[in-house]
C-alpha cells in the first residue's frame, strides 16, 4: 500500500466524486479506468471520414459513449 499526498482542495473534489460505497482507492481506480475507456473510444474515431458517413458514425460513437457512462453509473 502506498501513500499519495494531495492538497486539501483536491481531496475535497475527490470526496465530491466518491460514491457512498467507495473508498478513495476504489474512486481512483474507477476514474483511471474511465479515462482509458474514453481514450479508446476517441481513438476509434479516426476512421470516421473514410466513407463520408460522418453523421451516422458520430451518432454510433455517441451511443457507445453513453452506454459506457451508464454502466459506470450503475
Per-residue pLDDT of 35-74, as tens digits, reads: 666 666 666 666 656 666 777 877 888 888 888 887 777 6
Mean pLDDT for 9-37 is 87
47/24: higher pLDDT: 24
- Structural domains counted in the chain: 1
In a domain, 34, yes or no: yes
Domain contains 2:
no
Q: What is the DSSP string of the chain?
A: -------HHHHHHHHHHS-TT--HHHHHHHHHHHHHHHHHHHHGGGGTTSSS-HHHHHHHHHHHHHHHHHHHH-
In a domain, 1, yes or no: no
Q: Confirm whether 68 is domain-assigned.
A: yes
| The overall pTM is greater than 0.85 | no
Structural domain including 20 reads: 8-73
Amino acid at each position: 500500500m502506498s501513500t499519495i499526498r494531495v492538497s486539501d482542495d483536491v481531496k475535497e473534489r475527490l470526496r465530491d466524486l466518491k460514491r457512498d460505497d467507495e473508498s478513495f482507492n476504489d474512486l481512483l481506480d474507477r476514474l483511471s479506468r474511465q479515462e482509458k475507456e474514453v481514450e479508446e473510444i476517441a481513438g476509434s474515431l479516426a476512421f470516421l471520414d473514410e466513407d463520408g458517413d460522418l453523421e451516422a458514425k458520430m451518432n454510433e460513437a455517441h451511443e457507445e459513449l453513453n452506454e459506457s457512462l451508464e454502466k459506470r453509473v450503475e
